Amino acid sequence: MVNFYERVLQHPNYYRQFNCSDSLITVFNCPLEARLMKTRFADLWSQYNYLFYVIDGRKIWHTAHKSYDIGKETCVFVRKGAWIFENFLDNGFCVVLFFIPDEFICNTLKTRSTPLNNEIGKFEPVMILDKSDALSAFFLSISSYFSDSHEPDRSLLELKFKELILTIAESPHNPELLSYFASLLHEPQHVSLQRVMDENYCFNLKMEQYAELSNRSLSTFKRDFEKIYKTAPGKWLLEQRLNHALRLLRDGHRTISEATFESGFESVSHFSRSFKKRFGVTPSSFRQEKSLNAIPE
């Protein structure tokens, strides 16, 4: 899968970039972005959360369990992880974009005089935010940086990132995102690992990337995973991906190639071999029969 953050860094001609550290970047993504879109669907991942405000255009975010159609004048927070972009090739996607690591969010929230509520609830991988007057004013202040040829000092950019986090934390109108912020501060590590795996198992990520998303070294990730799931991560991933592919084929609307891509398999041949070994029937035969009886319990 393509690393979204690194991809942005590699195209400074398409994205005007302001860096304030190795892990923070502010990007203005203009309509020229359409030239980079070679296919309608693109699978990407990011080790950092990102927040963006859509100036113009449209894309659809497809995650493991839900799709999100994002259009003009929408403010969105996307948690770190993987997804499939559905692009509309005749238009660009014009946004102001911020990559924000967990650590930066936590360090900023710890400076608040009033702690966040410790309540941890469920939250989506993609969250559409309520645009308060304060948040709208923030984006207006940022826009002036892009109209100026002078690049702002990094210390000022860092303050703007902190302002963004604190502005969001101050508003009661985005409870889902506030719950996520609270989870970064208070959630047990084993819950964090489970959330990463449950939301990203159907994407073709490497084991090192799953470890990075769960803020662990590879060896620690494997050790913690086996403590939680009582099996090796590779074996668990294969089972989850096969079950996901089964659901996609069962609804009758996916081709074998689409089910392969959307379930995280590297090739149709690998998927077909694994599917037949697990369920005793080839994907094409199962799709033709469209019957639960084709799959033994």
More confident site: 82 or 120: 82
Q: What is the DSSP string of 199-236?
A: HHTTS---HHHHHHHTT--HHHHHHHHHHHHSS-HHHH
What mean pLDDT is predicted for residues 233-239?
Answer: 96
What mean pLDDT is predicted for residues 43-67?
Answer: 91
Q: Is the pLDDT of residue 259 over 80?
A: yes
Please identify, among 186, 211, 238, the residue that sits at the C-terminal boundary of a domain. 186
Residue 145: its pLDDT value, please?
80
* Alpha-carbon 189 to chain mean position: 19
Band (296; pLDDT cuts 50, 70, 90): low
More confident site: 119 or 132: 132
Residues 237 and 178 occupy one common structural domain: no
- Phi and psi dihedrals of 36, rounded to 5? -80, -15
Please identify, among 151, 186, 221, the residue that sits at the C-terminal boundary of a domain. 186
Query: What domain range is 139 assigned to?
Result: 2-186
Band (89; pLDDT cuts 50, 70, 90): low
Band (294; pLDDT cuts 50, 70, 90): very low
Q: Which of 139-153, 172-186, 199-213 has the lowest mean pLDDT?
A: 139-153
Residues 214 and 68 occupy one common structural domain: no
Band (275; pLDDT cuts 50, 70, 90): very high
Residues 117 and 6 occupy one common structural domain: yes
What mean pLDDT is predicted for residues 263-277?
Answer: 94
Q: What is the pTM of this model?
A: 0.87
Q: Is the pLDDT of residue 196 over 80?
A: yes
List, for residues 8-32, the tens digit of each pLDDT value.
888 776 667 887 776 677 766 655 5
Are the CB atoms for 162 and 106 separated by under 8 Å? Answer: no
What mean pLDDT is predicted for residues 188-203?
Answer: 90
Band (42; pLDDT cuts 50, 70, 90): confident
What mean pLDDT is predicted for residues 141-161?
Answer: 82
Residues 154 and 62 occupy one common structural domain: yes
Residues 145 and 267 occupy one common structural domain: no
164: left (phi over 0), alpha (psi -120 to 50) or beta: alpha
Residue 154: its pLDDT value, please?
84
Residues 120 and 95 occupy one common structural domain: yes
Residues 142 and 194 occupy one common structural domain: no
Residues 192 and 146 occupy one common structural domain: no
Residue 169: its pLDDT value, please?
92
Q: State whether the Cα torsion 69-70-75-81 is positive or negative.
A: positive
Q: Is the pLDDT of residue 35 over 60?
A: no
